[in-house]
């Protein structure tokens, strides 16, 4: 892997940020920069993926962090340019380009356009790494602008027949819960039972991770929610509840352990 000259990289990142208003030039410059820093001997195709099913440039994480740091202030000042650049680099982009597209889209102040873009992107990818970035970044303007609509979207994703869409729903809900907003926590408690009949292993892990997050942020509410579950619900959700148990805070784990013994 070519060694990184940090001063030169930061200069390149700021030059790239200056092209944000020109999507074609931005895309070309970004690809050139990624190619310069990619691991040429291990550049992989789909079959060699480690973290992702997508072809990737295999650039150091430092490069992506520097790009995001340089792009952030300019994208915040011109969110429409950020949205257009995101839309330009997504369609033919490799892993890192799609991740950067998700980051840029999340800085938009036009939630309607971003929602349209997000739904198109969700139909285009099932990659877990990219889905996580979409949940964390691209969903931000949606959950901040219209909580009721976002709640409806999350419910639809979680109830979807496609496993990757359900996984994304749990990712999106957990990212929302991590903002510690009352509406997101209420939504999470409302929707978690939908995961109890889940058979997809990844969705089960994501739903249990959401439960752990809830227990960390709202321990008393989580203990109350667990106590109010019917015996039938506890039985249906036994797999998810037991999967979460070792990672729960001590007091919440004690409550759940007692409830599971009751059946």
pLDDT at residue 262 in the model: 85
Counting the structural domains of the chain, the total is 1
Cα(203)–Cα(213) distance, rounded to whole angstroms? 15
49 confidence band (pLDDT: 50, 70, 90):
very low
Asked whether residue 261 is assigned to any structural domain, the reply reads: yes
Token pair of 202 as six digits = 């990844």
pLDDT higher at 249 or 44: 249
pLDDT at residue 3 in the model: 64
Contact indicator for 90, 60 with CB cutoff of 8 Å: no
44 confidence band (pLDDT: 50, 70, 90):
very low
Q: Could you tell me the CATH number of the domain that includes residue 169?
A: 1.25.40.290
Contact indicator for 219, 180 with CB cutoff of 8 Å: no
pLDDT at residue 4 in the model: 74
DSSP single-letter state for residue 195: G
180 confidence band (pLDDT: 50, 70, 90):
confident
- pLDDT above 90 as % of the chain: 86
pTM, two decimals, is: 0.91
Helix axes 182-191, 201-217, angle to 10 degrees: 140
Rounded to an integer, the average pLDDT of 18-30 is 97
Say whether pLDDT at 88 is over 70: yes
Asked whether residue 137 is assigned to any structural domain, the reply reads: no
pLDDT at residue 38 in the model: 87
DSSP single-letter state for residue 4: P
Asked whether residue 5 is assigned to any structural domain, the reply reads: no
Range of the domain at 175: 146-263
Asked whether residue 156 is assigned to any structural domain, the reply reads: yes
Cα(138)–Cα(159) distance, rounded to whole angstroms? 20
Rounded to an integer, the average pLDDT of 120-142 is 96
Is residue 173 left, alpha or beta, with left meaning phi > 0 and alpha meaning psi from -120 to 50? alpha
pLDDT digits (tens, 9 = 90+) for 209-254: 999 999 999 999 999 999 999 999 999 999 999 999 999 999 999 9
Asked whether residue 107 is assigned to any structural domain, the reply reads: no
E runs forming strands in 196-251: none
Rounded to an integer, the average pLDDT of 182-201 is 95
Residue 139 has a CB neighbour count (10 Å cut-off) of 27
146 confidence band (pLDDT: 50, 70, 90):
very high
Say whether pLDDT at 125 is over 90: yes
Cα(47)–Cα(150) distance, rounded to whole angstroms? 35
Residue 178 has a CB neighbour count (10 Å cut-off) of 14
Asked whether residue 51 is assigned to any structural domain, the reply reads: no
Asked whether residue 237 is assigned to any structural domain, the reply reads: yes
Asked whether residue 197 is assigned to any structural domain, the reply reads: yes
Say whether pLDDT at 83 is over 90: yes
53 confidence band (pLDDT: 50, 70, 90):
confident
pLDDT at residue 43 in the model: 46
């Amino acid at each position: 892997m070519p060694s990184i000259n940090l001063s030169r990289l930061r200069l390149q990142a700021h030059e790239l940020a200056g092209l944000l208003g020109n999507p074609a030039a931005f895309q070309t410059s970004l690809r050139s920069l990624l190619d310069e820093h990619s691991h040429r001997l291990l550049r992989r195709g789909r079959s060699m993926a480690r973290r992702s099913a997508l072809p990737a440039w295999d650039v150091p994480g430092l490069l992506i962090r520097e790009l995001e740091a340089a792009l952030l202030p300019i994208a915040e000042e011109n969110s429409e340019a950020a949205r257009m650049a995101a839309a330009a680099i997504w369609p033919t982009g490799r892993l890192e380009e799609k991740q950067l597209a998700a980051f840029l889209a999340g800085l938009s102040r036009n939630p309607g356009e971003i929602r349209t873009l997000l739904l198109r992107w969700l139909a285009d990818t099932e990659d877990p790494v990219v889905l996580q970035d979409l949940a964390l970044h691209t969903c931000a303007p949606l959950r901040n602008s219209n909580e009721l609509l976002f709640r409806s979207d999350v419910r639809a994703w979680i109830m979807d027949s496609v496993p990757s869409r359900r996984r994304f729903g749990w990712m999106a809900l957990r990212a929302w819960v991590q903002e510690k907003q009352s509406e997101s926590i209420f939504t999470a408690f409302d929707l978690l039972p939908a995961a109890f009949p889940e058979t997809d292993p990844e969705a089960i892990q994501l739903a249990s991770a959401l439960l752990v997050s809830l227990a960390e942020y709202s321990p008393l509410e989580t203990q109350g929610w667990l106590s109010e579950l019917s015996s039938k619900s506890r039985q249906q959700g036994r797999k998810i509840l037991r999967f979460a148990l070792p990672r729960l805070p001590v007091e919440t784990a004690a409550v759940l352990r007692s409830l599971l013994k009751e059946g």
